[in-house]
Each structure stands twice: as C-alpha cells, then as structure tokens.
Amino acid sequence: MGHTASPEAHSSGLTATEHRLANGLRVVLSEDHLTPVAAVCLWYDVGSRHEVKGRTGLAHLFEHLMFQGSASVQGNGHFELVQAAGGSLNGTTSFERTNYFETMPAHQVELALWLEADRMGSLLTALDLQSLDNQRDVVKNERRQRYDNVPYGTAFEKLTAMAYPEPHPYHHTPIGSMADLDAASLEDAQAFFRTYYAPGNAVLSVVGDIDPAQTLGWIEKYFGSIPAHDGKPEPRDGSLPDVMGGQLREVVEEDVPSRALMAAYRLPADGTREGDAADLALTVLGGGESSRLHNRLVRRDRTAVTAGFGLLRLAGAPSLGWLDIKASSGVELPVIEASVDEELARFAEQGPTTEEMERAQAQLEREWLDRLATVGGRADELCRFAVLFGDPQLALTAVDRVLAITPEEVKAVAAARLRPDNRAVLVYEPTGGPAETEEQEGEEPDIEEQAIVEAGDSGAENKEGEL
C-alpha cells in the first residue's frame, strides 16, 4: 500500500490520509473520535454519462442489483446485516458516479468493509436473470412514481435533453427510458460490472471513530485480493460552447396544478472558480425567501407562489442552472418571464450588494459545514473530490474557495451566462382538472433527486419488484 499524509492545517480543522492498494483501490481515512460511529463510503467512477445510446438507465439499474446478493451474502442479507448491527445504508446514481455507503457503530466498521468487498469481488457469481428482472421492474415502477405520474415530473428530463443535445453524454438522465430498461440483458449487466466495478475505478473512504492502522489492515484483508481490471473506456467528451446560442422553448400542456415557468442555463463546470461564482449568483437570485426573485415575484408582485434558482454542479460538462417558478392563479407566464429577465439584466449590470454577497457566502458556508459535520457527509465529500477532481484534500478547503470569490466575479458570470440566448425553457399550461387557486403550489421536481437517483431500501423491501 502506498501512503500520503494530508497537511495538518485546514480551515475546517479536519484531516485525511490517502492510501492505495496494489490492485488500484484508492483509500481515504479521516479519524474523528467525537462520537462512536463511523461511515464507510464507496464511490465508483461510473454514472449515466458512461452509458451508450440504447442502454440508458443501466448504471442506476446496476446500483439496485448490487443490493440483491453476492457470493457470501444472499438475497437481502446486506440490508439485514447492517440494520441488525445498528447501522444505516443506501446507494445512489448520478450523471457522474455511483456510490454506496453505510454508517455504523464504530465497532461494526469491519462488517461494512467486508460487505462492500464481498459484492465488489463476487457479485457476478450471484447475478442471474431472476434478479435482473426483479430490479428492472423496481426501477420501472420508480420511474412511474417519481417522473411519469407526478406533476412536472419529466421537466428535468426535458430540460436536460435540450441543454445537452444528442449525442452529448449528459443528454439523458440517470433514470433511463422504459424501452432501454426493457432491452437490458443479463449479458449487458455482467459486462457493465466487469468494466466499471473494479478496484482501480473506485475510491473508498472511512470516516469517524476508527483506528487508522487497524482499518487499513481490514481493507487490505478484504479488498486486497480482488483482481485489478483496466478495461474501462474513456468517458465521452462533455464539453459544449459556453452559451446555447439561442433560446430553446417547449410548451407542455398537462394536468398540472398551476402554470409554471422552468428554465435551464449552461453554467461553468464544477471545480472551477467560475463555477463557485455561479453558485453564489444563483443563491443571491433564487436561493431562499431572501432572494431577489422570491422578493420580486412572490412578495412584491404576487405573480408567483414559488420562485427558486439552483445549481446542479457537474464536473464533466457545463453545470446546470435551474429556474423553477409556479404562477399565481390567473397570471400569464409572459408577465413572469419579463420580470425574470428584468431582474437578471439588473443583476448582470450591477452585481450583488455587499449584504447579498455576505448572505450568500454564509449560506453556502453553512451548507458545507452541515455536510462535513456528519461522518457520512464527510466520507461522501472526500470520495467526491477524489473521484471527480483527483484530490480528496480539496473537500476540506472547499469553503475557502467560495469565500474568496469577489462580487465582480459573480457579476461577470451572471452577465456572461444568465442571458436569454443561453437557456432552455419549459412553459407549463394546465389542462382540465380543478380550477387553479392561489394556494395551489403544485409539486416541484427535485433536480437533486432526479439527477441523483436513490436506491433507498428498495432492494430489501421489494422482493417481488413492487414499491
């Protein structure tokens, strides 16, 4: 095993050490004895961007299959063993990665490591057509319940397809299509596992009340014998022009509670100074009830019942700025759109005030501290920066980079990117159903949930393929 120690001083007061096994598995440890718990987090460098046309949704489908048993753990045993030991667990899939994680009492960390190693090393011996069909049905039902059969449920999918035109690797969302899910074969799943579920394509972090030497010994014992595999193809190029070059627009007539205006803007990639500036700009404009758009549309004009602007950070492609506004009863959407354009133009010309800048930086700092305050959140952040940017230590200083951004940089990114010729727009017009009222806010599509699809406990509780 190789070993490098992190610097002792970080703005957060936290440290981490890095290691690598002979088979390529990267390991990050962060010792913290504040509470008697520890988190085990495993990120695989595979997500929907690695899929090919005709086989979308395979990364998310395979995440479910990872909970269906391995050589030493049959059926739902992974869930049963972790929960019986007092732990919690889950798995998620995004455009850029798939992760699995357990939070355990400190004395049960070895169990979580053994479970993760067992399915990394032996899942193929347990994977059969029955398991594949079972989880295929679970994922299809998940798509119906979260996307196809809820108000505005396919908005994120539609906007993503417009913002990242074919054949861009981010053109489709992690949930995949019904047709592609039906088309996935057992051979497809087996090949997917062999290609991407290899030690050299993963980062394992363990954070919390641990003995680092003992933990490394367990990791070497359980993961060290898993063979290396170097057959992963390079991901397709995700680069695009900074701006779309024109406004894309689609009118959607559906049975939704109220009119809605949604838009997606191409913004700088995650891991860049410009990306942090964009996050601050969207926080000032639409991050909560003190934001400019909420104050203008909801409080002052009363033309909308909700108004938000958020950032989906992406490392391998332009990030996505997501505007989501639900109209008040009787208000026409062109009125709202004109107000939005007025506010964005004013912000691009003037930039944030000193008070807005301080509030936005404080808000992002609080969110960062919340993530690092738990062992699970810290383990996830260490994996994220290791997989996407090659350096887990960046997780411990992320807030310093946000706090270093200037108002001039925020103004510049707004002027360059938050423009009418750099957005894809969805206009929702209700059809049928009960009359609209001011109180009907409707269900907002959660872009974090849709861009990061969670397995939840589906593997444990849906043996017959039902949610």
The residues annotated with a catalytic role in the active site are: 63
Distance CA 428, CA 253 (A): 6
Tell me which residue has tokens 């007061």.
Answer: 13
The pair of three-digit structure tokens given for residue 27, joined into one six-digit string:
């390991």
Q: What are phi and psi of 274, to 5 degrees?
A: -65, -35
From the CB of residue 4, how many other CB atoms can be counted at a distance below 10 Å? 9
Distance CA 275, CA 410 (A): 10
Q: Are strands 319-327 and 202-208 parallel, antiparallel or unpaired?
A: unpaired
Distance CA 40, CA 82 (A): 12
Peptide bond into 352 cis (omega under 30): no
Q: What are phi and psi of 380, to 5 degrees?
A: -65, -45
The string over 281-313, giving b where at least 16 C-beta atoms fall within 10 Å of a residue's C-beta and e elsewhere, is bbbbbbbeeebbbbebbbeeeebbbbbbbbbbb
Distance CA 275, CA 402 (A): 9
Indicate the DSSP class of residue 56: T
The string over 6-27, giving b where at least 16 C-beta atoms fall within 10 Å of a residue's C-beta and e elsewhere, is beeeeebebbbbbbbbeeebbb
